[in-house]
Amino acid sequence: MKKILIGLVLFSFWGTLHSQKYIGPIIDMHLHAYNQELGGMMFGMDHPNPLKNEMYKGVKTPEQLKMETFKKMDEHNIVLALTSDGQLWKQDDPERILVSGRNMPLEQLKTMAEKGELVAIGELNPFYGGVTADDASLEPLFDLAEKANLPVGFHIMPGGPPGGLYHMGMSEIRVKNANPKQLEDVLVAHPNLKVYVMHGGWPYLEDMKAMLYMHPQLYLDVAAIDWVLPKAEFHNFIKGLVDSGFGNRIMFGTDQMVWPETIDIAVDAINSAEFLTLEQKEDIFYDNAAEFLGLSQTQIDNHKNP
């Protein structure tokens, strides 16, 4: 009887360990800032998700987007957000908004890099134009990023909502251009370049494992797939990466555009993963990104012990 009781206690402890909710600081590696010029068409657009039979309500104005996003960041203790077009919000929240440059002429990116205004380059999304990472047209961007010691966020799959190819003007996207292996020659040509695959390389789990095994400078974020995919599919994907030893290369992200509620869903997708220990959740939510971004110990201490 005593052995049975001990076994039950240990089983209960193990279950508690793997179901604990992480409440520490979070780094969002994939956020978007918009105004009417950048992303204006998205305001007021609701996002249907047939994979989960859900609909996400779009905010109507840039000011509402900024206000509601900052509110969600407060609620979830998001202490840093690597933000595409973050220069739009940097003045409003300089401590938390990290600027990632995208959709800009090369010379503008170069000038911003020289002024120390960029933390990263991205979201690079040639996928929407039917172009892969190894296309010669992208070489100047990768060269700039490597020389400036700026990490690159590279979008592959998914592209828009399910079926977005047909109803959102995304006529150039193709599944055949979505495999993360397209980055291999880029990584070999630029060995000092840090790259993270946006959206985790889903659904190419085995190829993503191979890429992570071969290229230690490669990381990934789980943005969008942590709220678009059914929870079982998302958990299956990240469990495959964690079980293969790559839990220290997975970074949290939301890809929040104009649907602030998706931040709640994304955070819950990690916290509800019973196969993750609290330490592994901390890795995904904060520690891996802190390592990738090269945060100082002082910055980390300030985030973890405010």
Taking Cα atoms as reference points, which of 157, 152, 156, 155 lies closest to residue 195? 152
Number of domains into which the chain is organized: 1
What is the pLDDT, as a whole number, of residue 73? 98
- Is 249 strand, coil or helix? helix
pLDDT in tens, 15-59: 555 569 999 999 999 999 998 877 778 899 899 999 999 999 999
Average pLDDT over residues 244-262: 97
> Range of 233's domain?
2-304
- CATH number at 26 reads 3.20.20.140
pLDDT in tens, 138-156: 999 999 999 999 999 999 8
pLDDT in tens, 63-102: 999 999 999 999 999 999 999 888 899 999 999 999 998 8
Average pLDDT over residues 278-298: 97
Residue 12: band (very low, low, confident or very high) from pLDDT cuts 50, 70, 90: very low
Average pLDDT, the chain: 90
pLDDT in tens, 104-139: 889 999 999 999 999 999 888 877 777 888 999 999
Residue burial 254-267, b: 16+ Cβ < 10 Å; e: rest: bbbbbbbebbebbb
Q: Which amino acid is at 266?
A: A
Instruction: Work out whether the CA dihedral 158, 256, 296, 114 comes out positive or negative.
Output: positive
What is the pLDDT, as a whole number, of residue 2? 52
Q: How many CB atoms lie within 10 A of CB 50?
A: 10
pLDDT score of 268 more than 50 = yes
What is the pLDDT, as a whole number, of residue 8? 46
CB neighbours of 257 closer than 8 A, spacing ≥ 6?
A: 32, 34, 39, 42
pLDDT score of 236 more than 50 = yes
